[in-house]
Amino acid sequence: MKKIMAFILGLVLIFLAACSNSPQTTTASTSGTSTEETTASTSEIITKTNEPTIFFHGYSGTINSFKSMISRIETDGYATKELVLTVATDGSITSEGTYTNTENNPIVQVLFADNKNNEWNQAEWVKDVLEYLQTTYNVQAVNIVGHSMGGVSAFRYLTAYGYDTTLPKVTKFVGIGAPFNDFLDTSSSQTIDELLANGPTEKSQRYLDYAAGITNVAADIPVLLLAGQMSETDLSDETVPLTSALAPFQLLQTNGNSVSYQIFMGIQHSQLHEEPAVDQVVEKFLWG
């Protein structure tokens, strides 16, 4: 009898040990229109909503520009790609995929048919995209991620149309390697700390336009600025000067926005959206 009891006790202990080693991948809590999940690998909490995050490519960008980054974000369990929208020069939009309106952090990838057009027209197309999502899917709020020219045009949209409360609200904004002060490099006349505190010492017309429209940007939009720096002596990502990618920091801070930045050493301009370290910062900022 004692041997039987010992055998049964051993089976129970083995079962309990197996349960305790199972990775946690289930939903932690659900409230309203958002869900919190934990990743099995890092145990980080992911907030899941039905609010789309829109990705805008840079100058001459294509479907491949954000393809790998979006795929990695999906693999990491943070979001799900649902739509690809192509914007024609007249602002008309063709769509591939389905917006499911589920709490899976849907991703919308936007392509401009004329991918070398100027930022003023692209800002209008950003507006067209938001109106399309609102009219077609009743989307009321979005996150925006823009690389290079995509960040420039999306920020121009915010400074030109941010006051319009009839449009979907921009909840968070990420600019990746975006030349916000055109391609002016002010590193010879100021340190990065001085730039962040006072703005650039030399201001392009693009930056002056932003300054004139900064009060149109809702002060409750958190902003993340990401930049590449090739080396201690090359303060650029080989295309965009570090001081340009971080140029709107002081404007936004003065406007009341929560603004943060991160510099990635040794990462070239077109590789910023190919780098998993960049993914992780974006993931945490948007959904962490």
Q: Give the residue among 147, 168, 178 at the shortest CA–CA distance from 252.
A: 178
Q: What percent of the chain has pLDDT over 70?
A: 86
Mean pLDDT of 120-126: 98
Q: Place 37 in a pLDDT band, splitting at 50, 70 and 90.
A: confident
pLDDT at 9: 43
Q: Which amino acid, one-letter code, is at 112?
A: F
Mean pLDDT of 279-283: 98
Partners of residue 242 on adjacent β-strands:
none
pLDDT at 5: 44
Q: Rounded distance, CA 164 to CA 152, Å?
A: 19
Q: Is the pLDDT score of 121 beyond 70?
A: yes
Q: Is the pLDDT score of 31 beyond 60?
A: no
Half-sphere exposure of 33 (CA within 13 A, CB side): 9
Q: Place 44 in a pLDDT band, splitting at 50, 70 and 90.
A: confident
Look at 271 and 25; give whichever has higher pLDDT: 271
Q: Got the DSSP string for 186-231?
A: -TTT--HHHHHHH--SS--HHHHHHHHHGGGS-TT--EEEEEEE-S
Q: What percent of the chain has pLDDT over 90?
A: 85
pLDDT tens for each residue of 150-162? 999 999 999 999 9
pLDDT tens for each residue of 193-229? 999 999 999 999 999 999 999 999 999 999 999 999 9
Q: Is the pLDDT score of 174 beyond 70?
A: yes
Q: Place 43 in a pLDDT band, splitting at 50, 70 and 90.
A: low
pLDDT at 231: 97
pLDDT at 16: 40
Q: Is the pLDDT score of 66 beyond 60?
A: yes
